[in-house]
Amino acid sequence: MWAAAPLLLLLLLLLFLLPLLLARLWRRRAAPLEPAGRAVLITGCDSGFGHLLALRLHRLGFTVFAGCLSPGGEGARRLQREAAAGRLRVLRLDVTRARDVLAAKELVLSHLPERGFWGLVNNAGISTFGETGWLSMEKYEKFADVNLLGSIRTTLAFLPLLRKYKGRIVFMSSIVAYFSLGNGIYSMTKAAIEKFCDALRLEMKKFGVRVCIIQPGNYARSTKIQPPVSAEEIWNELSEEEKAVYNKEYVQEWANFFNSILSKGSTNGNEVVDAMVDALMSPTPKARYMVAKLTEKALVFACALFPTVVMDSVLSYALSK
């Protein structure tokens, strides 16, 4: 019996790897999507990944609706300058406002190209730093409204169109959906959006709608989502109860640690945009695209593999240093 164990293990390994190899071969052979005449709406195009994606999709031939929080801002003006008239439209879109989302839907419906509405990219998001007790309830509500409910609000509005045209929905998550290092409020919203996507992906299969999640690693220097943090500003915003527990030196050390992480972020945001484009154009898109360094992927793998008590010890030790 034990002599057959290596053979059984090899068989199980082949059964696991064979579908992956076949899927990879199919992805290489299948023809990519023809973008001409298809519309895509992207949220959060003022800067960062959304801005880069709007330009990329426009150059590929899509009809692009670029939602910007500030349609008169620098990012929106840059999009308008670089895009040909007619096929890229900049619109005001605050995903926390239902009337903005409905106005965006009306605009899309009135300017649909011949092949209809193909994709929704839920990219808009905000980030901040701070331990759990340092952040006010108002801040928690704001983050949930933008990062989680904003994506859900926009998705529900465009779901009938996506079902009709058998389109794609792309969500921006993060590897910090698996762990937290000083930005628990951001991790919380990304973990929640992952679960929403898992449910939506299964439900949409019967309609031919694909749901994809993008999981970037540290790309802080490619976006404006998380500027360097100021220990002084954090301290001034703390409640008296929190100030009685912590001191300025501790907050400064935390800020220095977090800023050092930000400074190591990749500046090549196009790596993430490549994944977003594949999610929209591939005939066989992945459910998840993890775009991260090898060390970041290893940390995610460890979080999934090892017991929580082990990872808590590892992360606590790292934070203490």
What are the residue numbers of the active site?
186
The amino acid at residue 258 is F
- Provide the token pair at 151: 């994506």
Q: What are phi and psi of 70, to 5 degrees?
A: -125, 90
Q: What angle do CA 295, 173, 117 make, to 5 degrees?
A: 135
Cβ atoms < 10 Å from Cβ of 299: 22
Interacting residues of 123 by C-beta distance below 8 A, sequence separation 6+ = 42, 43, 44, 45, 48, 49, 50, 53, 170, 172, 276
- Provide the token pair at 302: 């460890």
The amino acid at residue 36 is A
Radius of gyration from C-alpha coordinates of the chain:
22
Burial of 270 from C-beta contacts in 10 A (0-12 / 13-18 / 19+)? middle
Helix or strand holding residue 115 (H, E): none
Whether 117 contacts 162, CB under 8 Å: yes
Angle at which helices 150-165 and 184-204 cross, to 10°: 20
Q: What is the DSSP letter of 218?
A: S
From residue 171, alpha-carbon distances to 119, 122, 252, 259, 302 in Å are: 11, 5, 34, 26, 24
Separation of alpha carbons 124 and 45, rounded Å: 8
Dmax over CA atoms of the chain, in Å, equals: 72
